[in-house]
A = this chain, B = another copy of it.
Amino acid sequence: MAKKMDKVFHKKFGQRIRFLRKEKGLTQEQLSFEIDADNSYIANIENAHRDIPLSRVNKIAKALGISLKDLFDY
């Protein structure tokens, strides 16, 4: 996450996750639980504080009930 480009990318990705999570009516803690992650995991993603393995992105998409294609449609 050293480069500025990455920071912008992760910020937008975090905003997207927040939007989809709220649309689904889930708290950050609930979505974290759904993907077997610790309590603050989704909060950290939404605030662009961490990179994330693709396998986790896949789990988030499943928990939100959408495809990766649709998750990245923003």
Measured CA separation A73–B51 after assembly (Å): 22
The answer to whether B72 touches A13, judged by C-beta atoms less than 8 angstroms apart, is no
The answer to whether B72 touches A6, judged by C-beta atoms less than 8 angstroms apart, is no
Chain A interface residue bracket vs B: 10 to 19
Contact with B along A1-22 (1 / 0, CB 8 A): 1000010011001000000000
A40 in contact (CB, < 8 A): no
Instruction: Report the 7 A-B pairs with minimum CB-CB distance, sorted nearest first.
Output: A68-B72, A69-B72, A51-B53, A69-B73, A52-B54, A6-B55, A51-B55
A30 in contact (CB, < 8 A): no
Which residue of the partner chain, among B1, B54, B73, contacts A57 with CB atoms under 8 Å? Answer: B54
